[in-house]
Structure 1
């Protein structure tokens, strides 16, 4: 059991002592790759653009949810095969994961991350079809160059970002053990590279609870019953009361997933699911413990029994982007005429979560966002955003995202001083962490 007060005080101390953040739009101190090689990778992306657009459209028109992306993974593999790269579909023990590697057998190793799962009902409303297109484009652009630089590049296709923590499952299978740095790009609303270019996101843990009571006739003999729905309602209200005493970087929200079968039967079973979020790992653990205590208290007050399942899906850890590596991506997209805001990498005040956070805690990684050029009110996780991912401005963003990823990968493979700086920054942020390690 964690100490919530100690976690809160530690967060206050970290916040007060934090140095002014560096800016992502500052020039990098390192040479990176020779300009000719970087330009070669960017030209390769532009040459691939028609195929990448067709891939994004095909994924959009045939969306598949997490762990069911069989046709989606197959489409990526087919495109890679056409360019001479045989992808291992079903990698890491996951039927819809894939991996392909090009370049030298050893040396520095950069992994480009693809996502291609959709959301139920609204399809690719998070833009994973754009993520997949950009990732494939970046890999194909870097693959011919990596060996010449004495390094290698991989494309890792990660299933179920929306609902199953595919990246954490790949981590547990050792899929990132030989990778030195990684990167992906996420689409966003609006036209800029986006103010999320190097900002941390929250981590999230799921907490499911099922209350077991005793059925009875709700009118004839209610005194014989123990109302499981009352326990759920008490728990929900308790979590709502908890919210006024949580940190600014915390969020909790939930739904009732089972409220009983009939009004005239005292519910003997009721259930709820809560998402617990925080922007730091220790505060995420502390907040989860507080929520669990509320759920246990609801059982005590109603005479029911609580069956609590913490982490039915592996936790998504707070995102920790590598600033030095992000600068390489930002410089490349700025060179293509796209505005890059300063975006200091400060802790998120609430916000969304991604299982890419788990990768960023395991090895130096980047996860910048790029605007798809649509109206600012067309935001992810709605059908309008899904429709926008196959409009011409979104394809411009796809090409820019891929070119930026390719340039960052080539710079990383080519420049040992850059690699040392990336590793030093990662170590200064705490170094390698896996869920279950001591905090």
Structure 2
């Protein structure tokens, strides 16, 4: 641990600077040009070879440091997209900085131990998470362990994220004068309203942990014109991929029935990427917990619901750790300006340092103990569904 601390102390000021810079320059998903450039510049400075515009994604990157000795491949995932209006209210400025820090620390030690270290820049977690494309295209197939950490008001290593699908229903009807000849029109907005009503009736017959929530993005242009076009967007979430698929089909049937009842035509699409539920690896989490404890974190013992994460898709491919860590003595809500502001304060910076130490030490344990890695992988095979 002392060797890790020494390496981290040497680079920590650079990490504080990049965390502050990205906080002051928030960018939305797939527009994180300044953040991406800052991360790439820092990693190259510390000996990583970097592929920019990775997989054709403008603000994604893959940074690699390979020792000359055989060993496992450990990937650290960074995020750096902000939220509209409130900036880094989800703390992604810290997530990307932690990825840099863990990657750099491990790269300074891995030559003696063996293995390969990757830092993956994964844009747009809040919308069209790049981890989905990366998982679909096999990027994690030859990665042994994936690590990341997320700022929060509490420290918790056991997380539950829901599988999620983002569905859009676009109904097309026919205009008519709403007073003079309404019988000649087909009301697309009626189809949307009927869809909402049918989904509300469906709620009685799905599990209590399932979530369906939606909005109307288009509903007509004037009250005296029968709406020709109406659009609704929904998130559907469930605890497992398999049950999500079942519920999604029921939701789609609600919309199909509404189209049939009103005479409107319907087009069903996905307006954002679909996220898988997060699969927790207890063996890997146990290693992370050991080092969180050693670094003085007060770890909560119960699982925390996280909405939906594109890291869920990664966890179905390789063992993944996604600890939450406290960045304030206050009880902060996520997606708020208060959380964004907390990410650059001394309490949060101290927590960031301890997280980097903990995840780097986790990586070293896995590199140095092949039997540990074997146990982690065996659990992964048995738990992914």
Same fold (TM over 0.5): yes
- Displacement, 1:86? 3.6
Q: Which residue of 1 aligns with 2:14?
A: 51
Aligned residue runs from structure 1 range 14-33, under 5 A: none
Distance 1:127 1:115, change over 3 A: same
1:91 and 2:58 correspond: no
Stretch of structure 1 that moved more, 110-119 or 388-397:
388-397
Secondary structure of the equivalent of 2:268? strand
The count of aligned residue pairs is 384
Greater relative contact order (Cα < 8 A, sep 6+): 1
- Displacement, 1:351? 4.8
Q: Which residue of 2 aligns with 1:169?
A: 133
Q: Structure 1: state its 5+ residue gaps.
A: 1-37, 434-439
Aligned residue runs from structure 1 range 70-89, under 5 A: 70-89=33-52
Secondary structure of the equivalent of 2:287? helix
Q: Equivalent of 1:331, from 282, 285, 290?
A: 290
- Displacement, 1:374? 4.3
Q: Which residue of 2 aligns with 1:353?
A: 308
Give the Cα–Cα distance (whole angstroms) in 1 for the partners of residues 234 and 83 of structure 2: 19
Give the Cα–Cα distance (whole angstroms) in 2 for the partners of residues 78 and 240 of structure 1: 50
1:238 and 2:198 correspond: yes
Secondary structure of the equivalent of 1:214? coil
Q: Which residue of 2 aligns with 1:254?
A: 214
Q: 4+ residue runs of structure 1 moved beyond 6 angstroms?
A: none
Give TM-score scaled by structure 2 length.
0.95
Q: Is the 8 A contact 2:291 2:358 kept in 1?
A: yes
Give CA-to-partner distance per residue, 1:254-302, whole Å, 9 cap, x none: 0001011111111000001000001111111111111101111111121
Q: Equivalent of 1:183, from 138, 147, 154?
A: 147
Q: Is the 8 A contact 2:49 2:65 kept in 1?
A: no
More strand by percentage = 2
Give the Cα–Cα distance (whole angstroms) in 2 for the partners of residues 396 and 335 of structure 1: 14
Secondary structure of the equivalent of 1:318? coil
1:386 and 2:340 correspond: yes
Q: Structure 2: state its 5+ residue gaps.
A: none
Give TM-score scaled by structure 1 length.
0.84
1:287 and 2:247 correspond: yes
Stretch of structure 1 that moved more, 317-326 or 104-113:
104-113
1:138 and 2:93 correspond: no
Give the Cα–Cα distance (whole angstroms) in 2 for the partners of residues 426 and 65 of structure 1: 33
1:412 and 2:366 correspond: yes
Give the Cα–Cα distance (whole angstroms) in 1 for the partners of residues 5 and 51 of structure 2: 26
Secondary structure of the equivalent of 1:87? strand
Aligned residue runs from structure 1 range 103-114, under 5 A: 103-104=66-67, 106-114=70-78
Q: Which residue of 2 aligns with 1:151?
A: 115
Q: Equivalent of 2:324, from 366, 369, 386?
A: 369
